[in-house]
Amino acid sequence: MLRALALVLLATAPARGGAVLDVVATSTDLKALVEAVGGERVRVESLAPALHEPHAVDVKPRQLVRLKSAALLVRVGLDHEPWLARVRATVNDPRFAPGGAADLDVSRDIELLQAETARVRSEQGVHVHGFGNPHYWLDPLNARPMTQTILEGLARLAPDAREVLSRNRARFLERLDAGFSRWSAALAPYRGARVVVFHDSWPYFAQRFGLVIAATIEPVPGVPPSPASLAALTAGMREAGVRVVIVEPSSNRSAANRIAASTGARIVTLVPSVGGDPEAADYVTLFDVNVRRLTEALAGAR
């Protein structure tokens, strides 16, 4: 019923610029990229808020209604959205099944890191990072294949929009490339710097900018460290001269604070997703904020 209504609305949308596609993304990062490519041709909602426990999301009934009538579901893929299975079961529409007509997995053309990692399953039945590290949007150059996949997904639904979508994407990539020059220059003096991270969100970012992730505080994604693993970690950090610990706004700060206190390392809070900080309002400014915070921490830790 709702879907039928939405189709009627889509069909009767104003002709200027073509019909607007209702898109639901699983993350604010994907929302930002769909908006960058889709421009006026899309209306996008993210199921996950900008900040949440990694891989755990509570989808609201209002969002389920929105998804039912959406033209496209855009997702990170891999094991990033274990909560999506329940959403799919509730919405019960084969269009949104993996590989379905309205399902778009943006990971499909990404060169994955940690793809060999064994599948792990936490006590809550939430499995994470089992098919390769899913935080690939944190390499800004991955936005190229991501926006290409999004362009294809949107153009399949609105073939008349392909030209404008391509123009939008080209404009976005120009801004991204300019940003990438800035970020590379800012981080160049710190190539080879060793950092410790709380959640394993940053391997793509680190690889792109030449940083070395010496250790991860969570022994397994989503699992807090034991006292024994914390002790081993701080000993290793002192030995290796690691001076910076990267946490996220949702990280449990007590473990990070203990590590900082016993090693003298600096804690820097990086933003894992668009909107996680008011300054990180879109995909490009997300990296502006993170690169600035990180260079300040690395400079101060010398």
Q: Which residues bind Zn ion (CB under 5 A)?
A: 54, 221
To Zn ion, the closest distance from the beta carbon of 166 in angstroms equals 32
Kindly tell me which of 221 and 275 has the beta carbon lying closer to Zn ion. Answer: 221
DSSP state of 16: T
To Zn ion, the closest distance from the beta carbon of 4 in angstroms equals 38
- CB contact at 8 A, 112 and 77: no
Residue of minimal Cβ distance to Zn ion? 54
Kindly tell me which of 18 and 219 has the beta carbon lying closer to Zn ion. Answer: 219
To Zn ion, the closest distance from the beta carbon of 130 in angstroms equals 11
To Zn ion, the closest distance from the beta carbon of 192 in angstroms equals 24
Kindly tell me which of 41 and 52 has the beta carbon lying closer to Zn ion. Answer: 52
Q: What angle do CA 296, 300, 302 make, to 5 degrees?
A: 125
Tell me which residue of 129, 155, 187 sits closest to 34, measured CA to CA: 155
DSSP string, 35-100: HHHHGGGEEEEESS-SS-STT-----HHHHHHHHT-SEEEE--TTS-TTHHHHHHHH--GGGSTT-
To Zn ion, the closest distance from the beta carbon of 25 in angstroms equals 17
- CB contact at 8 A, 138 and 202: yes
DSSP state of 293: H
Kindly tell me which of 203 and 221 has the beta carbon lying closer to Zn ion. Answer: 221
- CB contact at 8 A, 41 and 164: yes
- CB contact at 8 A, 65 and 90: no
Kindly tell me which of 82 and 140 has the beta carbon lying closer to Zn ion. Answer: 82
Structure tokens at 262: 């016993």
Kindly tell me which of 137 and 209 has the beta carbon lying closer to Zn ion. Answer: 137
To Zn ion, the closest distance from the beta carbon of 78 in angstroms equals 9
Query: What is the rounded distance in angstroms from the CA atom of residue 284 to the CA atom of residue 32?
Result: 10
Kindly tell me which of 133 and 263 has the beta carbon lying closer to Zn ion. Answer: 133
To Zn ion, the closest distance from the beta carbon of 28 in angstroms equals 15
Amino acid symbol at 33: L
